[in-house]
Amino acid sequence: YDDRDGKIWMDGKMVEWRDANVHILTHALHYASSVFEGERCYNGTIFKSRLHSERLLKSGQLLDMTIPYSVDEIEKAKYAMLKANGWTDAYVRVVAWRGAGDDMGVSARRNPVRMAVAGWEWGNYYGDAKTKGAKLDIAKWRRPDPRTIPVEAKAAGLYMICTMSKHIAEDKGCSDALFMDYRGYVAEATGANIFFVKDGEVHTPLADCFLNGITRQTVIGLLKDKGITVHERRIEPSELAGFEQCWLTGTAAEVTPVGQIGDFHFEVGALTRDISETYEKLVRS
């Protein structure tokens, strides 16, 4: 993915895609001192763009890492990158990290904080599962205790178990893995939040130890606007057997129906289709 044409914004300049490189002694590469955002641009407008930029700065603060750009500067960088590549519809990836410094070690006081904005054209995150329903494996790893790591940060270090769990899921023919949290409650997938439907009401895990996704919050708002009751609560894995519908939410995933989790089956039902279409309309409006 590195040797191709295109433009990437890096530390205030637009550089060629193939020249957007970092040194091998980059702090982030060794100690996961990196935070990022995933955003989607629809018809020339990035959905909830400023919220994503604010979350990036907050993720940096949570890692004791001050990103040397303001929300307005990040906004400008994202649109400059899209313009330089001629994209109106694309996925936008902003990343900030601690670079190579005067010395190398766990302390990063002498390492500069750097930032880049890249993008690519990305269709359905889960391929044809977007219409048919995704199959999820149950991950053997758990979302960590908030006392062990800043779980609200969209930070690289929190994705190590995501990659491992996703590989195991893919080996089993699944699209993704569903994590339980450190207490054993249902949490989220490796890059998306989860919702369930039962008796016309919606249930979603309380986001108290994982990313409270921007799409999650948007979809909760859309459901409430439709007069649907949404329960944000602790969900036991034993409850999976009783839910009728299920979907995932995320910037990349958008609203993707889930057809199966482990041995439990769900229908791609009317409410799932309705909320998926409503979300689709909103992001393009």
The residue ranges that bind ligand PMP (CB under 6 A) are 38, 154, 188, 191-193, 210-211, 213-216, 249-251
Q: Nearest distance from residue 147's CB to ligand PMP, in Å?
A: 19
C-beta nearest to ligand PMP: residue: 213
Between residues 181 and 188, which has the closer beta carbon with respect to ligand PMP?
Answer: 188
Between residues 135 and 216, which has the closer beta carbon with respect to ligand PMP?
Answer: 216
H helices of 196-269, in order, are 214-225
Between residues 108 and 210, which has the closer beta carbon with respect to ligand PMP?
Answer: 210
Q: Nearest distance from residue 112's CB to ligand PMP, in Å?
A: 25
Between residues 139 and 214, which has the closer beta carbon with respect to ligand PMP?
Answer: 214
Which residues, other chains included, contact 144 with Cβ-Cβ below 8 Å and sequence gap of 6+?
151, 158, 182, 209
Between residues 114 and 154, which has the closer beta carbon with respect to ligand PMP?
Answer: 154
Per DSSP, 145 falls in state: P
Q: What dihedral do alpha carbons 16, 18, 24, 30 form, nearest 10°?
A: 90
Check if the beta carbon of residue 202 is closer than 8 Å to that of residue 228: yes
β-pair partners for 197: 202, 245
For residue 26, what is the enclosing H or E element?
none
Closest CA to 35 of 12, 62, 9, 8: 62
What would the two tokens of residue 278 be?
A: 């409503």
Between residues 250 and 257, which has the closer beta carbon with respect to ligand PMP?
Answer: 250
Between residues 67 and 192, which has the closer beta carbon with respect to ligand PMP?
Answer: 192
SS3 state at 35: strand
Q: Nearest distance from residue 214's CB to ligand PMP, in Å?
A: 4
90-98/34-42 β-pairing: antiparallel
Q: Nearest distance from residue 139's CB to ligand PMP, in Å?
A: 12
Q: Nearest distance from residue 121's CB to ligand PMP, in Å?
A: 18
Per DSSP, 155 falls in state: B
Q: What are phi and psi of 146, to 5 degrees?
A: -60, -15
Q: What are phi and psi of 224, to 5 degrees?
A: -65, -40
Q: Nearest distance from residue 146's CB to ligand PMP, in Å?
A: 14
Q: Nearest distance from residue 210's CB to ligand PMP, in Å?
A: 6
